[in-house]
């Protein structure tokens, strides 16, 4: 098996068909699970330092087709991390008030403050995905958005926020199986929506929209990662690895203590 890049090369056109959603590299499930535990322990420590330092933030953007595993990723990757330092925002169809503003208005206010990890479950990318496929605005409007997104992400970066974007890549067949499980298991019925089937019919249009979103917004400061996501254990491993590496590069440090702490006597 040849290695599959996580960040797609920017010097050639992107075709998602070239990316195997079942790719697991050299990993076995057992090894991946135990490595995940190690990585999660490091993630906990790094998150605590990020919070204590309070001068940098990390924004994680999750995008996927329905049943792609965004919810499961958030649940598994961040288990054990102090919830006080993490914000999760799930972006649904915009309200009337949100639609009466520019498309980034509702997004920007949820960008994580310094010291925090912010997770976007769906994001501003919906405005060049479902909005494009369902023709919710004219093409001239969504075409202009890629540049707006790059400028917005540059702004966040310049303000101390690191950005990691993950596209959870599942196959159409895997989506079918996950939908079927939602139908078969009464505890998962609530997750099933007939509307999801309508979107599935436009699978190829979505793949093209993703290809454009990923290649046009795959910047050095806010890279896209194409995560093989048919195997949940591999998906969790890859995402956790990437987050840990990024936090290590950000190298958050504890702020210096007040002077002469060693002379402090706690009064009775
Ligand atoms: P689950 O995976 O649990 O179903 P979900 O994220 O799919 O969660 P839903 O309420 O089922 O949540 O779906 C949210 C819907 O809102 C999606 O179909 C998404 O494409 C749509 N949406 C999000 N942002 C926009 C937007 N800017 N314009 C139009 N639709 C949007
Ligand atoms: Mg849904």
**Tokens standing for residue 81:** 């991390």
User: How large is the average pLDDT for residues 7-25?
Assistant: 97
Which pLDDT score, from 0 to 100, does residue 244 have?
Answer: 98
Which pLDDT score, from 0 to 100, does residue 80 have?
Answer: 87
Residue among 100, 103, 107, 126 whose CB has most ligand 1 atoms within 8 A, to mutate: 126
Which pLDDT score, from 0 to 100, does residue 259 have?
Answer: 87
User: How large is the average pLDDT for residues 66-74?
Assistant: 98
pTM: 0.96
Taking the centre of ligand 2 as the mean of its atom positions, its distance from the CA of residue 101, in whole angstroms, is: 24
Closest residue by Cα to atom 29, ligand 1, is 93
Neighbours of 53 (CB within 10 A): 16
Closest residue by Cα to atom 31, ligand 1, is 93
Closest residue by Cα to atom 25, ligand 1, is 93
> Going from the N-terminus, what domains does the chain have, and what CATH number goes with each?
16-250 (3.40.50.300)
User: How large is the average pLDDT for residues 204-231?
Assistant: 98
pLDDT band at 2 (very low <50, low <70, confident <90, very high): confident
pLDDT at 99 over 80: yes
Express as a percent the part of the chain with pLDDT over 70.
Answer: 100
pLDDT at 72 over 60: yes
pLDDT band at 1 (very low <50, low <70, confident <90, very high): low
Does 122 sit in the ligand 1 pocket, CB within 6 Å? yes
CA-CA distance, 74 to 58, in Å (whole number)?
15
Give the residue among 228, 213, 93, 202 at the shortest CA–CA distance from 153. Answer: 213
Taking the centre of ligand 1 as the mean of its atom positions, its distance from the CA of residue 106, in whole angstroms, is: 14
Terminal C-alpha separation, the chain: 67
**Positive or negative CA dihedral for 98, 137, 125, 105?**
negative
113-134 pLDDT, tens digit each: 999 999 999 999 999 999 999 9
User: How large is the average pLDDT for residues 70-93?
Assistant: 97
Do residues 215 and 136 lie in contact, with contact meaning Cβ atoms separated by under 8 Å? no
149-190 pLDDT, tens digit each: 999 999 999 999 999 999 999 999 999 999 999 999 999 999
3-state secondary structure string across 161-187: EEEEEEEEECCHHHHHHHHHHHHHCHH
Q: Which ligand sits nearest to residue 130's alpha carbon?
A: 1
Residue among 67, 92, 178, 192 whose CB has most ligand 1 atoms within 8 A, to mutate: 92
Helices and strands (H, E) in the chain, number of each type:
11, 5
Strand partners, 64: 168
Closest residue by Cα to atom 3, ligand 1, is 191
CA-CA distance, 233 to 153, in Å (whole number)?
29
Closest residue by Cα to atom 22, ligand 1, is 93
Question: 79-83, 96-100, 208-212: which has the minimum mean pLDDT?
Answer: 79-83
């Amino acid at each position: 098996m040849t290695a599959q890049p996580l960040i797609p090369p920017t010097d050639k056109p992107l075709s998602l068909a070239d990316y195997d959603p079942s790719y697991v590299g050299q990993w076995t499930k057992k090894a991946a699970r135990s490595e995940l535990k190690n990585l999660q322990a490091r993630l906990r420590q790094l998150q605590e330092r990020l919070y204590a330092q309070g001068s940098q933030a990390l924004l994680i953007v999750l995008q996927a087709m329905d049943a792609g595993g965004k919810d499961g990723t958030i649940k598994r990757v961040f288990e054990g991390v102090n919830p006080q330092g993490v914000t999760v925002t799930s972006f649904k169809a915009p309200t009337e008030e949100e639609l009466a503003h520019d498309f980034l208005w509702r997004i920007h206010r949820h960008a994580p403050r310094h010291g925090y990890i912010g997770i976007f479950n769906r994001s501003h990318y919906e405005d060049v995905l479902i909005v494009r496929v369902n023709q919710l605005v004219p093409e001239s409007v969504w075409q202009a958005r890629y540049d707006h997104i790059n400028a917005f992400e540059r702004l966040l970066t310049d303000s101390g926020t690191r950005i990691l974007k993950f596209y959870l890549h599942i196959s159409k067949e895997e989506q079918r199986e996950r939908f079927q499980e939602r139908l078969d298991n009464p505890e998962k019925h609530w997750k099933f929506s007939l509307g999801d089937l309508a979107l599935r019919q436009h699978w190829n249009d979505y793949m093209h929209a993703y290809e454009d979103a990923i290649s046009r917004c795959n910047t050095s400061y806010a890279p896209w990662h194409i995560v093989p996501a048919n195997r949940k254990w591999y998906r969790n491993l890859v995402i956790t690895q990437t987050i840990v590496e990024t936090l290590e590069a950000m190298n958050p440090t504890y702020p210096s203590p007040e002077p002469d702490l060693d002379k402090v006597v706690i009064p009775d």
